[in-house]
Structure 1
């Protein structure tokens, strides 16, 4: 009886543990980015008003208030009757405050803009917690621009200069220098085209590229992008590609030396039997460990988009792998 009781207790414990682990792996997100304040991780992702979650262990997450309970006042001027469904944020701490970049767009068009909001803390219980919106950083217009102002990512280079990379489809991934306040484009303007798969959304071919994220490590700037089709559940073909450069503005090259601006990119991770497609990643170092944060279309949950956090390691040539 005692042996049976212990076995039963162990079985119950393992069942609960597995259940908790499964729960931690089925958080529904799109386009996750993350930052750590004190002992708490904060995750921001696409959603109504910008979805936010928090965790102390990177496994168990709780919902936090959205960033924008009401849509930013300027958005209707870009996308008429904008529904406050905000895409693909990016979060960075600089100048003793948090900068949250975000994108609004008409689906399938480059009627788009990237905005930015700031906050001195991410802790909603702090008396200083308050998001202040600063409006548009960059905007794209149909019939004027062959680029798309969505999917922002900001990096500060070794000279303390901020750069905004962004874009999808159309003419690929762009980069522009920001002012030191990180709220507007620096003058005179300095632009670069850092990645392109050629052709466009108009071609009907699978040349899609989007979601840049730049991560500095090993003396390189690594540019991650997402290829092919997201947001289609079982039909998703999303995958993550990477290239690197010694300078933030490029040129970025893949493992074979091909320029990302000419269609190059080494595949880091793609769909498999567990996930139909994976993509739109961010990358961080927390407590000495490098992580890739992204979403995948879960084959066990009918193509549901779920949060994935994987340790990122480096081979002998300093290329990342999972």
Structure 2
């Protein structure tokens, strides 16, 4: 049905479909990690950080939420205590869950952090704000992504408001260091600077910045796509395959909508059995634009650039 395929032009380039999954497939802005007990957990936007579990990365069950109730400070940023776009990682014997609280269309926003020994829903202890932004700032403190580099801890973040930024974190507290420099990693040449949801991955001697470009959250009318650039320094400058800086609107296309898989984005990357796996959501054109979980392994070419496989 043509009415369900507004992004048919995106299918001009061929992309592999996501791996087949079963069970609870509905998700938005997924972040995934393989737990110490061998299971996989995925957290996402929706609920009080919605949780999914799988024993095999194929069949997923709905496991409620990361938190039973929203921490009280969230209500400073929206009336419903609604969190967005989490990021899960493991270091120093604990799981760390970063997330954003904000309202649509404003950069009065904050990123928070919680820790857990098991990484399972219902076990998280919240530690409050990591970093925030106000309406006078030229960035938006949402969509966190954590990466370690050279023995230091960094957080990329950003959505519209001139794009993707990065700050250094104190590894002990997991929060932004006092007076942290706000590095600029990627933007678009035109307002509203529609790039968000960064994830930084180390491969070989390069750091790779993945980000979601264009518009999400509109079902089959979404135009999300994932672009990538790389740098030998975690703080940039990042350039695409053609050498164009991501600060000048560059970004090589990694994954776009194709067939029923519309508006691919909200991505993160996790490791499984030594392989990098891309997690993202797409809007299912054969199911009224319902957002669902996409998983594909990343392959790395001889030129060092990633491809979806």
- For residue 220 of structure 2, give the secondary structure of its aligned residue in structure 1: helix
Aligned residue pairs, count: 289
Counterpart for residue 62 of structure 1: 61
- After superposition, what is the alpha-carbon deviation per residue over 1:152-193, rounded to whole angstroms, capped at 9, x for unaligned? 0111112x2100110010111110011122432113422210
Contact 2:21 2:60 in 1 (8 A): no
Match of 2:104 among 104, 107, 111: 107
Match of 1:155 among 147, 151, 156: 147
Runs of 4 or more above 6 Å deviation: none
Counterpart for residue 141 of structure 1: 134
Counterpart for residue 198 of structure 1: 189
Counterparts of 1:23 and 1:31, CA distance in 2: 17
Match of 1:290 among 273, 276, 281: 276
Equivalences for 1:202-281 in 2 at 5 Å?
207-281=193-267
Structure number having the greater helix percentage: 1
Where relative contact order (Cα < 8 A, 6+ residues apart) is larger, the structure is 2
Question: Max radius of gyration: which structure?
Answer: 1
Contact 1:229 1:237 in 2 (8 A): yes
Q: Mind listing any 5+ residue stretches in structure 2 that lack a counterpart?
A: 1-18
1:32 counterpart = 2:50: no
Please report how far the alpha carbon of residue 150 of structure 1 lies from its aligned counterpart in structure 2 after TM superposition. 0.4
Counterparts of 2:281 and 2:77, CA distance in 1: 28
Higher mean alpha-carbon deviation, 129-138 vs 301-310, is at 129-138
Counterparts of 1:240 and 1:182, CA distance in 2: 31
Counterpart for residue 158 of structure 2: 167
C-alpha RMSD over aligned residues? 1.6
Residues 26 and 70 of structure 1, relative CA distance in 2, 3 Å threshold:
closer
Counterpart for residue 5 of structure 1: none
Contact 2:75 2:81 in 1 (8 A): no
Please report how far the alpha carbon of residue 302 of structure 1 lies from its aligned counterpart in structure 2 after TM superposition. 1.6
Please report how far the alpha carbon of residue 245 of structure 1 lies from its aligned counterpart in structure 2 after TM superposition. 0.8
Residues 220 and 30 of structure 1, relative CA distance in 2, 3 Å threshold:
same
1:90 counterpart = 2:81: no
Residues 26 and 51 of structure 1, relative CA distance in 2, 3 Å threshold:
closer
- For residue 261 of structure 1, give the secondary structure of its aligned residue in structure 2: helix
Counterparts of 1:22 and 1:284, CA distance in 2: 18
Q: Mind listing any 5+ residue stretches in structure 1 that lack a counterpart?
A: 1-20, 202-206
1:117 counterpart = 2:114: yes
- After superposition, what is the alpha-carbon deviation per residue over 1:83-102, rounded to whole angstroms, capped at 9, x for unaligned? 13210000111121111000
Residues 85 and 219 of structure 1, relative CA distance in 2, 3 Å threshold:
same
- For residue 301 of structure 1, give the secondary structure of its aligned residue in structure 2: coil
- For residue 200 of structure 1, give the secondary structure of its aligned residue in structure 2: coil
TM-score for the superposition, normalised by structure 1: 0.86
Counterparts of 1:186 and 1:40, CA distance in 2: 33
Please report how far the alpha carbon of residue 316 of structure 1 lies from its aligned counterpart in structure 2 after TM superposition. 1.8
Counterparts of 2:220 and 2:76, CA distance in 1: 35
Counterparts of 1:178 and 1:186, CA distance in 2: 5
- After superposition, what is the alpha-carbon deviation per residue over 1:210-246, rounded to whole angstroms, capped at 9, x for unaligned? 0000011122111000000101011111100000111
Residues 194 and 25 of structure 1, relative CA distance in 2, 3 Å threshold:
farther
Counterpart for residue 16 of structure 1: none
TM-score for the superposition, normalised by structure 2: 0.89
